[in-house]
Each structure stands twice: as C-alpha cells, then as structure tokens.
Amino acid sequence: MPERRTVALVTLGCARNEVDSEELAGRLEADGWQLVEDAEEADVAVVNTCGFVEAAKKDSVDALLEANDLKGHGRTQAVVAVGCMAERYGKELAEALPEADGVLGFDDYADISDRLQTILNGGVHAPHTPRDRRKLLPISPAERQEAGASVALPGHGPTDLPEGVAPASGPRAPLRRRLDGSPVASVKLASGCDRRCSFCAIPSFRGSFISRRPSDVLNETRWLAEQGVKEVMLVSENNTSYGKDLGDIRLLESLLPELAEVDGIERVRVSYLQPAEMRPGLIDVLTSTPKVVPYFDLSFQHSAPNVLRAMRRFGDTDRFLELLDTIRGKAPEAGVRSNFIVGFPGESEADLAELERFLNHARLDAIGVFGYSDEEGTEAATYEDKLDEDVVAERLARVSRLAEELVSQRAEERVGSTVRVLVESVDEEEGVYGRAAHQAPETDGQVLLTSGEGLSVGRMVDAKVVGTEGVDLVAEPLRGSLGWSEEADR
C-alpha cells in the first residue's frame, strides 16, 4: 500500500483565515491526504497568508521562506501559498517569490487536492491574475445568493460530504476538519464587505458581502459542539450586515438565540461589528440572551469627525460614547474592544486630541493601535496630505502608551467582580489560563486562575477577580479548592 501523502497547513492572519484553513483541511482529508502538524513532516507545506497590511504580508513571506528552508533537509518537497496575499497578488507574488512552488487563489480551493498533487509531481499550476472580486457578484445584495453559488467563497463549503468526514452521529459536518483541540472555534457568518473605507483593500480581494444561510451556520455549530467545542465566535468582515442579502437585516438577532441553544455550546461570541450599523434590537439580544456574551468588537478606527469622513466612515466622539453608554446601561460588565488608526492623511493635532478624549472616556477592555501606511489600490493611498513617517511613528507610540495605560485601568475596575471563565490551558508549571466573557481569543487578554484543582480544558468555572497583570486578570475559583460554583456544577 503506497504511503499516504502528507500536508501541513500554516495559518497566518485573522480568525477568518483559520476557518479557511480548516476548510482546506477538510477537503484534503476527504481526498486521502494525511494532515500533520509540523511542516517538516509534510510532503507539502501550505501557507495560508494574510494580505491586510505590510507587517502581515511580511510575516506571510517569512513563513513561506521558512517552510522553503525545509526542502532538502527532510520530507518537505513543496511549499504552496494560499490565502489573502496569494489571492491579492497572484502571479506577481509568484514572480517575486520563486521559493513558492505554487500560488493558489480562492478559485483553486475546490480543487486543492488536485492542485497540490500536480505541484508535488513536479508540474506547474499557473498562478491567477488578480481581479476585483467585488465585480463577481451583483451590486444589489438581494440578487447575490443565487449568483454566489458559482463564486468561490472560502468558509462557505457544502455539507454533502463523503462518509467518514463527518461524525456518524448528528448533522452532516461542514467541509471542515479541526486543526487543534481548542474548546473555541470560529464560525464564518459571511464573506466580503460592501463598505468602502478609504484605507482598506479587503473588499477588492474578498469580494462583496454575502451571507451564509442560517441553517449552514447552525449545522456547523452543532458539528463543532460534537467535536468538543464550548465557545463559537462568529466572524466575517462585517457581522452587522448579516442577512441583508437574505432579505432580513435583523437575521442575526433571531439566529443568536438558536445558536445559544445548541447542546454542548456554552458561549456564543460575535466579532467585527460596525458602530454605524448597530441596532437597538441587536444590542438587546447581545446583552440579554443566555450564553450569548455581551461582547462588542466595535470598529471605531478613530473618533475625530474630519478623519472619519476622510476614511469614508461615520460617527464622532460623542455619538460613540452614547453607544457605549447604551450598551453598558443594559450590561454594565459588557466587554468592548476596538482598533484605531493614527497618522491618517490630514490628521491634525486637534484630531489626535479628539481621539485621546474618546479613549479616556470610553473604558475599553482592549485597544489595538496602528500607524497609517498606504495600501495599494485604496483611495487613501491617493491622498496628498500625508504625514511624515516620523510623525506617524511618534503618534503611534503616544497613543499606544495611552492605550496600554487605559486597558490596565479597565482591568483593575474588574477586581472584586465574578467572572465565568472558559479554561483553555492547564499546565503544571505555567498554571491554568482561560478567558472571561469580555475576552476574545488571542486579542483581549486572559485570566490566570489561582487554583487548577479539578479543572480541565473546556470546563467553565466561576471565579472572583483578585488582581491584574496589565490587561490580564488574576482570579480565584469559587468554592475553595474544587474551583467550581454551584452554577458551574449544574
């Protein structure tokens, strides 16, 4: 019997890329490939790249070069680039990075097994010429669902899988294979974006906004629960637009309670929310539905009106603070995070001061700060009133220092409160770590539990916050040494 072909998937970038990698893993496993964790043990190393900003693109290139270094020293015979950078640059990337044996776009995902086999056999699959994927779907959202069936939408895989890919019990699995044993998994709610933020190139290579059908999202969540997942995080470029192409812009409000009722799921989290699209009904559902955490990942980007208009966005400091007041009036302990760009073309000292005013009053749990840099193909790259790089760097350092101080203060406000923690790692030397409801994976800090007795990965425990370490919390499990509250026992 011939030795099975082996493949390793290396994922960079956001949670959406993680979902895409697990779709590729599902497709490959269904066609007989053996998935391995380490690239050096694989015949083919597939690097799922990020193409969002320069730093992420550099990380992607470094990962490709690192995988290429394995060739000739072990089993690895080929290195293949997929993901956003591969889609965005296509043959340009292939020419600039000959170390990659293949550069595959989204349209290649359905035939990923054949593509990798061709490359492994020494053949060449011509990289694609990039195109504006917004033009692949109708302008009208209402006309997109039928057209979307013929357009490659990573993370929207079919459910009619071969026997053996899905569990024998329960609903059919999505076209997906878990790549780790984490009790947390992202679920793609939609793909693409219809917003035209002047600094962002994502819509050009991810396409226009198209929702997944609620039944697909539910089935995938049920399958994940069968795999031991306790928390699902809904991801897309813009979750507040979910359902608009299905004829119901309030579809998320009805879907969330259904997801929360899936057996085995303890926590449902929604990411990527647009402040200008927040609805009272959505706030109500996010703050009052059991197992749906009151967590608000709000894409503010700035708060000075002049800068926001140049970004092709809406709002201002006072309106954003009113939104936060509304949220906290319904859920005082709600978690809120956001990202901000400083040094945007035309940003004045007064604009920066306005952003600092917002940050000082917003009481955000997590803050990401980025210095502006041109992204090719975006409107902002054509603006003339660019700031000097040293000015951008100084403002980035200044606001980053403020952000670090503010999130530490916000963490200290939680001392004395009780948090419900999902245990994610248990290590005799490093301790027991998890996350509370206000903390999303990878981005918002974590909770160090002072006792791990009786705890295991995937368990929920109530704990009292007794200290902080920057943005992280230190918490003591309730009910003494056992670490369980009566509510958790139930």
Strand 431-435 vs strand 418-427: parallel, antiparallel, or unpaired? antiparallel
Of 153, 166, 148, 219, nearest in space to 19 by CA? 153
**From edge to edge, which strands make up the β-sheet containing 184-188?**
184-188, 231-235, 267-270
Alpha-carbon dihedral 328, 459, 426, 410, rounded to 10 degrees: 10
What residues contact 340, with CB distance under 8 A and at least 6 apart? 300, 301, 302, 355, 359, 367, 368, 369, 370, 399, 403
Of 88, 95, 222, 118, nearest in space to 167 by CA? 222
Q: Has 84 been labeled as part of a binding site?
A: yes
**184 CB neighbour count, 10 Å cutoff:** 21
**123 CB neighbour count, 10 Å cutoff:** 11
Q: Has 50 been labeled as part of a binding site?
A: yes
Structure tokens at 30: 């269904």
Q: 256: alpha, beta or left, given left = phi > 0 and alpha = psi -120 to 50?
A: alpha
Q: Has 200 been labeled as part of a binding site?
A: yes
Q: Has 397 been labeled as part of a binding site?
A: no
Q: Has 223 been labeled as part of a binding site?
A: no
Q: Has 277 been labeled as part of a binding site?
A: no
Under 8 Å between Cβ of 241 and 278: no
The annotation places the binding site at 14, 50, 84, 193, 197, 200
The annotation places the binding site for [4Fe-4S] cluster at 14, 50, 84, 193, 197, 200
